[in-house]
A and B are shown apart, each in its own frame.
Chain A
Amino acid sequence: MTQSLLEIKDLSVYFDVPEGVARAVDGVSFNVLPGETLALVGESGCGKSVTSMSILGLIPSPPGRIERGRIIYSGRNLLEEKEEHLRRIRGNEISMIFQEPMTSLNPVLSIGRQVAEPLMVHRGLSREDATAEALSWLERVRIPAAAKRLEDYPHQLSGGMRQRVMIAMALVCQPRLLIADEPTTALDVTIQAQVLTLMHSLKEELGMALMLITHDLGVVAQVARRVVVMYAGQVVEEAPVADIFDNPFHPYTQGLLRSMPRLGQNKGRLAEIPGTVPVLTETIAGCRFAPRCAHQFDRCRIEAPPLFEIADGRRARCWLKRYPDRRKAHV
């Protein structure tokens, strides 16, 4: 077995909110292998982003707190590292791209300067050297006439161009892991494909791992090798990408797939998952998905299912593993 690049073990992140304690991430475990593309999938508020932010130690505290768990990176638990050491990892060994290219760039600094900044911080390059390096990165992310763009400000660029700048900024120090939090959600579909292809080819070139956070299964199919599906702060299914699409185990994953529009199937309404995500401040007995699940039976409502091993490299948090005959044929 390959040594994991990043290992998240039983991570729980709670937020103290006026209504009580929101268990945004509750006992999440998964790993990222060197050079692979892992997709973290789930709907809004399922804890995808919180998980990724805690890897870099960026959970605002208060109100957030890491309740328990470990995040192992090159043999060390990042959750116990000093801020100083974390800072040397951020942007240098583990980088992150955010959803909104409109707001993730500083409006009053030129893009050349922003791309150069991590190099000045981590590599101790002078401004001239860092800018020269930044220019080569802007070219690598295929910004046309990059040399002329160095002095441009974010508002002079389109959304797609800004996301390219963000990618350049995240990759200048050649990290081993890139966490991309919904990198294409805010972009037009045509630009989405370009940005994804670009990220994928740069990933191959640099041999880094990519952790892609998304709710868009179309994106997952395009680039991911393995998929972790999250629901209400927990991992509900983990499988190689082919299995997720051909043979999803968890009813939630199945629901997600059914609610995806497909070419040639444009008759009638899209299937939806009935009900809404549970409120994270409430304690839920039993399976968190049970109230919305078509297959649910008495045990689901009483006892929370553990993460069962379905096959080699496949896990699912569902009682149907133990009671396969409870699965209804046509839902």
Chain B
Amino acid sequence: MRRLLKRFFSNLNFSLGFVLSFVVVAMALVSLVWTPYNPNRMNPRDRLQGPSISHPLGTDQYGRDTLSRVMTGAVNSIIVGLVTVAIGLTVGVLLGLAAAYYGRFVDEAIMRFSDLLFAFPAVLTAILITSVLGPSMINAMLAIGVFYIPIFARLTRAVAQGVWQQEFVTAARASGIGEWAITRRHILPNILSPLLIQGTIQFAVAILAEAGLSYLGLGTQPPNASWGRMLNEAQTFMNLSPWMAIFPGVAIAWAVLGFNLLGDGLRDTLDPRMVKVR
């Protein structure tokens, strides 16, 4: 275990990604119990302030503390990342496993369904879904999650097909282990690391997507804090108080970069073959 950790942390991408995402997660966790100010409490007297001792990241047009809002925004982003990846993983892995196992018609049907989903421009369709179902964080997560299904389905299918060809699967069959047990105990553990890598990367993409939807007003609804939403509100006051836009923007870039690097680092360490290719 210690050796494994050492291997991970000797990778620059992983270490950097780990530190960046750790800050985001820590911020989110702390905000659950403590924030400098109530993130939704307006305080007109302190509006549109720049960074100061009492408000390290300044305040917005209603005098709400930007640091507190960035912190609660982190919770929002993490929840979106977790839920969307969970949707994509559960449905996608099941579909991918089924496609790899049954092949032929089932495979064809599932993969064409994936193609169909892929053919839609993701953001436009997410906008469509949220505008039909009504703008809310839950609907935004649903919209993003749906587009993750084909990504995980394809990945699972591709990797699982390879694993089914392996001799140890034949050996497992020859010892009388049933097909479902083989899938669960032999196939799944073998495809875990590519799924983990993809999951981390999709987590980053989801944060970005949610920020985008919230920026358009289709995601998290006021007064709740979301980084995208904060950017949107800051837009009007760009000339008066650019700080309002800078900090949520930095937060988004920080988190996306962090989780992306984490994913890359995981790939480098878990899948040495990929490194050689690059």
* A→B interface (CB under 8 Å): 56, 58, 87-92, 95-96, 98, 100, 103-109, 117-118, 121-122, 166, 169-170
Measured CB to CB, the closest approach of chain A to B17, in angstroms, equals 24
Measured CB to CB, the closest approach of chain A to B3, in angstroms, equals 12
- 1/0 per position for B55-94, CB-CB distance to A under 8 A? 0000000000000000000000000000000000000000
**A247 CA to B155 CA, complexed, in Å:** 58
* B→A interface (CB under 8 Å): 166-168, 170-178, 181, 185-186, 189-190, 192
Residues of B contacting A92 with CB < 8 Å? 176
B190, A106: Cβ atoms closer than 8 Å: yes
B176 touches which one: A103, A104, A109, A122 (CB < 8 A)? A122
Measured CB to CB, the closest approach of chain B to A209, in angstroms, equals 16
Q: Rank and list the top 7 A-B pairs by shortest CB-CB distance, nearest first.
A: A91-B175, A90-B176, A91-B176, A96-B174, A103-B167, A104-B171, A118-B175
Measured CB to CB, the closest approach of chain A to B95, in angstroms, equals 22
**A294 CA to B134 CA, complexed, in Å:** 85
B174, A91: Cβ atoms closer than 8 Å: yes
Known: A58-B170, A105-B168. A118 touches B190 (CB 8 A): no
Residues of A contacting B168 with CB < 8 Å? 103-107
A95, B174: Cβ atoms closer than 8 Å: yes
A109, B171: Cβ atoms closer than 8 Å: no
Known: A108-B190, A109-B185, A109-B186. A170 touches B166 (CB 8 A): no
B190, A91: Cβ atoms closer than 8 Å: no
Can you name 6 A-B pairs with beta carbons within 8 Å? Answer: A89-B176, A90-B173, A91-B176, A103-B167, A117-B175, A170-B175
B171 touches which one: A87, A88, A96, A122 (CB < 8 A)? A96
Known: A98-B167, A98-B170. A106 touches B186 (CB 8 A): yes
Interface of B is mostly: helix
Known: A108-B189, A108-B190. A88 touches B167 (CB 8 A): no
Measured CB to CB, the closest approach of chain A to B38, in angstroms, equals 48
Residues of B contacting A106 with CB < 8 Å? 168, 172, 186, 189-190
Residues of A contacting B173 with CB < 8 Å? 56, 58, 90
Q: Which residue of A lies closest to B163 (CB)?
A: A106
**A121 CA to B177 CA, complexed, in Å:** 7
B181 touches which one: A88, A90, A109, A121 (CB < 8 A)? A121
Residues of B contacting A122 with CB < 8 Å? 176
B181, A104: Cβ atoms closer than 8 Å: no
B185, A117: Cβ atoms closer than 8 Å: yes
B171, A98: Cβ atoms closer than 8 Å: yes
Known: A98-B167, A104-B167, A104-B168. A90 touches B186 (CB 8 A): no
Known: A100-B167, A103-B166, A104-B168. A95 touches B189 (CB 8 A): no
